Structure 1
Amino acid sequence: MGYNVNVDVDKCIGCGECVDVCPVEVYEIKDGKSEAVSPEECLGCESCVEVCEVSAIAIEEN
């Protein structure tokens, strides 16, 4: 089972909290915004969703 990782770049403020909290390094900050560079590694723990102050991240099961 995999997960779709979606970052709404219009909402993202580039704080990097998702980068810091993700246990499998799904995210990187690129051009001042978070980007899911390794979405296939996502465990579906939703730590990134919980820590995102602006609700810019959504995780869905494939």
Structure 2
Amino acid sequence: MGIDPNYRTTRKVVTEIQGIKVYDPYEPPKKLGIWGTIVGVDFDLCIADGSCITACPVNVFQWYDTPGHPASEKKAMPINEQACIFCMACVNVCPVAAIDVKPP
């Protein structure tokens, strides 16, 4: 089971970090929710294998440290989600289906 494709309408924005909206549940360090609106990354599923960072032709992602999280201690943060060209490369390579991309 991957990221909830309906999170934008079914979950609440609980905070914003470095300009990125974070959707619930957000209870650091164990639950980090879904980060991003155009390019959403489920931080609770992300295992930080880096395939999305490598696959993205427009550098949407950067590493973000998440010490204490059970899945991994860093995540692929969609820091530059506005640059997304909707090629879906990140979605296609994510081994745990933690990414969802929707045009604004």
Q: TM-score, normalised by structure 2?
A: 0.56
Aligned residue in 2 for 1:12: 46
Aligned residue in 2 for 1:48: 90
- The reply on whether 1:60 has 2:94 as its aligned counterpart is no
- Count of residues in correspondence between the two structures: 60
- Aligned-CA RMSD value: 1.1
From the CA coordinates, give the structure whose radius of gyration is larger: 2
**Which runs of no fewer than 5 residues in structure 1 stay unpaired?**
none
**Which runs of no fewer than 5 residues in structure 2 stay unpaired?**
1-36, 66-73
- The reply on whether 1:21 has 2:55 as its aligned counterpart is yes
Distance, in Å, in 2 between the alignment partners of 1:4 and 1:36 is: 9
Identity %: 38
* Consecutive aligned runs of 4 or more in structure 1 exceeding 6 Å deviation: none
1:1-57 deviations in whole A, cap 9, x for unaligned? xx8110000000011110001000000111111100100100000000000000000
Q: CA offset at residue 58 of structure 1?
A: 0.2
Distance, in Å, in 1 between the alignment partners of 2:52 and 2:60 is: 9
More helix by share: 1
